[in-house]
Amino acid sequence: MSENRGRQLLPGQTSRVHVYDVDARTSRLVFESRTLLVEAPNVLDDGTLVLNGDGDLWLLPLPAPGEDGVLDETALVRVPMPGVDEINNDHVLDPTADSVVVSARDGELYRVPLPEGGSAARITDTTAVLPVVRKYYLHGIAPDGSALAAIVGERTPEGVWTTDVALVDPSSGDTTFLTRDAHPDDGCAISPDGRTVLFNTERFTPGTAQLAALRLDEGSSPVSITGDERVNWFPHLSPDGTHLLYLSYEPGVQGHPADHRVELRLLPGSLTRGARIAVVPETLVTLDGGQGTVNVPPWSPDSAWFAYCDYPVGG
């Protein structure tokens, strides 16, 4: 363990990781710990999970298919990140290189080599906009690695805080805003065809987050995907574009807090391309979680399964 301290377990709480087989509609527990809280799984090409915990980045090699057993914290492999003091749960794998881009608690984005780790390269420079305080929260990446999809939080000298969707050049850190308004936005991702940005926003229903799609064509405006009473966060298209996975809170929840009863829901991926079909979301799993469950892309590269975290107390 490092001296970095991220979110911690509550008394009597367990941090768990599951993998969900989409065709079989079954979930399998693969990891649990009562000492380390892990969050936000990504999936490498070989099926290894990438997680954050205690401010660090970890690899979790999964057992081979058919092997029984549940792993614990001794199976985790820490990824060294010299130059990065502490990260949060916003990290995304680069599809074009052996690296991961992480969001640090200093508000910057850094590129870290995988799997061995090593010196991190800083991508952004938040000091360039002072006295405005800026923080980057990474949630997605273009399929060719040419752009990062990030939420940019800014606080003006007058104390006004905004969150907007932006594309960040991974080479220069140049930031292009796709939204620039007072509506709270979060959870942005780029579709597998590179043409659409998905995110959750309160622009359609003030106080209640819904999923939205924004075509990257000039002059396009966000279009709502969901419009129910529940609070919907973190849209994740499967790599083949077939499935849209998201996190759903009960009505009235503000933000995306931890330790709530939440659902993982599934919609057809065609909704993000403008298909307007009558469809009821399918609830795959009901769990104790929220923050940390699926903040970032959790799909396997073959779209057959995804990973998620929950945090039950007691039992």
Question: Domain of 282: which CATH number?
Answer: 2.120.10.30
Counted domains in the chain = 1
For residue 150, give its domain range: 15-310
Rounded CA-CA distance 191/213 in Å is 9
123 neighbors 168 (Cβ within 8 angstroms): yes
- pLDDT tens digits along 181-234: 999 999 999 999 999 999 999 999 999 999 999 999 877 899 999 989 999 999
Q: Is residue 297 part of a domain?
A: yes
Q: Is residue 9 part of a domain?
A: no
Q: If we measure between CA atoms, which residue out of 273, 258, 287, 274 comes closest to residue 89?
A: 258
Residue 1: the pLDDT is 28
Which residues share a beta bridge with 150?
A: 138, 166
Q: What amino acid is encoded at 212 in this protein?
A: A
The structure tokens listed for 98 are: 């052996």
Is it the case that residue 66 has pLDDT exceeding 80?
Answer: no
Mean residue pLDDT of the chain comes to: 93
Q: Is residue 262 part of a domain?
A: yes
Rounded CA-CA distance 280/202 in Å is 21
Contacts of 288 by beta carbon, 8 Å cutoff, 6+ apart:
259, 260, 261, 262, 310, 311, 312, 313
- Model confidence, pTM: 0.95
Rounded CA-CA distance 103/84 in Å is 10
Q: Is residue 1 part of a domain?
A: no
Q: For residues 83-96, b (16+ Cβ closer than 10 Å) or e, as one string? A: ebebbbbbbbbbee
Residue 294: the pLDDT is 98
Q: Is residue 7 part of a domain?
A: no
- pLDDT tens digits along 93-128: 999 879 999 999 999 999 999 999 999 999 999 999
Estimate the share of the chain in helix, then strand, then coil, as percent rounded to the nearest 5: 5, 45, 50
26-33 and 185-190 beta bridge pairing:
unpaired
Residue 277: the pLDDT is 65
- Exposed (0-12), middle (13-18) or buried (19+): which is 141, by Cβ within 10 Å? buried
Q: Is residue 6 part of a domain?
A: no
Rounded CA-CA distance 44/41 in Å is 10
Q: Is residue 8 part of a domain?
A: no
CA-angle at 67, arms to 65 and 69, nearest 5°: 130
Confidence grade of residue 266 (pLDDT, cut at 50, 70, 90):
very high
Q: Is residue 3 part of a domain?
A: no
Rounded CA-CA distance 48/62 in Å is 6
Q: How many CB atoms lie within 10 A of CB 8?
A: 12
Which residue has 């690695």 as its token pair? 145
The structure tokens listed for 73 are: 């914290």
